[in-house]
Structure 1
Amino acid sequence: MPNQMAALRACGFIVFRRLKQNIEFLLLQTSYGDHHWTPPKGHVDPGENDLDTAFRETEEEAGLKPDRLNVVDGFCHELRYTVRDRPKTTVYWLAELSTPETQVTLSHEHQDWCWLEVEKACRLVRYPDMQGALRDATAFLSAGTH
């Protein structure tokens, strides 16, 4: 029987800010691989819960401290895909940057960042499931009093 490798798990935030009447999402460009764009996320450390991982990774990758992020209740988006023949689940929560002008500070894992409205963000993000997550976040924010 083949050796089954453990499934990968990552967590992060779809970080957004409000500028006037516009909602913009934070995307980071990786400094490795195919230099894809993604919200901040990372692997869950042993003994760490998912939400703590999202906060830790967002601070490590974008320099945004937990006290600058307001998690939006009721939104959680799970993506399932395969990475190097291993199943992976990535869980995203929605978090508003409390001070829109807060500076983003990248880690060595990323080479660029930007704030974009949903359709421009979807053009930059190549993966359909991530595009769907951004559109779902936009619809969720538009439907409520968030």
Structure 2
Amino acid sequence: MLNRSSGFVLFRRLCGQIEYLLMKASYGDFHWSSPKGHVDPGEDDFTTALRETKEEAGYDESDLKIYRDTPLTLNYNVKGKPKVVIYWLAELRDPNKAAILSEEHTELKWLAKEAAKECVGFKDNQVMIDKFHEMILEMDKKSPCPCP
């Protein structure tokens, strides 16, 4: 059976910098990742992403500006079994709102793009961060920030 998960790559704009939320798992190889989780029976991918982000980071849909039209899919193997993870890009509306970790994670970091890529380690995850970062920069070109 195919292992399917979904989540959000969360970012915030703080002091003119784009930062990504990564959380350290409290299990397995203690990897760093964006909030995500298994799709429950009868649940769609987007609903799973919302549920998991609330459970793992404490943010709900009203806290986020979600870019639903541009999901990215990662395909890889975990312990020899195929896994599919669908991620959407989501911006934290209030960049100062603190995350609330669940017992599934031991710590969190908000990191700039290159530091986030180094922290996640996995090539496909690094490519995803690059792609989402490019999307953010393209969006910024279309509607630049009015602040000085």
SS at match of 2:28: coil
5 Å-filtered alignment, 1:1-146, equals: 6-145=1-140
**Counterpart-to-counterpart distance in 2, 1:46 and 1:81:** 21
One-letter identity of the residue aligned with 1:62: A
**Counterpart-to-counterpart distance in 1, 2:66 and 2:36:** 15
Q: CA RMSD in A?
A: 1.1
| TM-score (structure 2 length as normaliser) | 0.92
**How many residue pairs are counted as aligned between the two chains?**
141
**Counterpart-to-counterpart distance in 2, 1:14 and 1:41:** 9
- Post-superposition Cα deviations, 1:12-52, rounded to whole Å, max 9, x if no partner, equal 00000011321100000001111110000000000111101
Structure 2 runs not aligned, ≥5 long: 144-148
- Runs of 4+ deviating beyond 6 Å: none
One-letter identity of the residue aligned with 2:90: A
Identity %: 43
**Counterpart-to-counterpart distance in 2, 1:109 and 1:39:** 12
Structure 1 runs not aligned, ≥5 long: 1-5
| TM-score (structure 1 length as normaliser) | 0.93
**Counterpart-to-counterpart distance in 1, 2:113 and 2:47:** 26
**Counterpart-to-counterpart distance in 2, 1:41 and 1:75:** 17
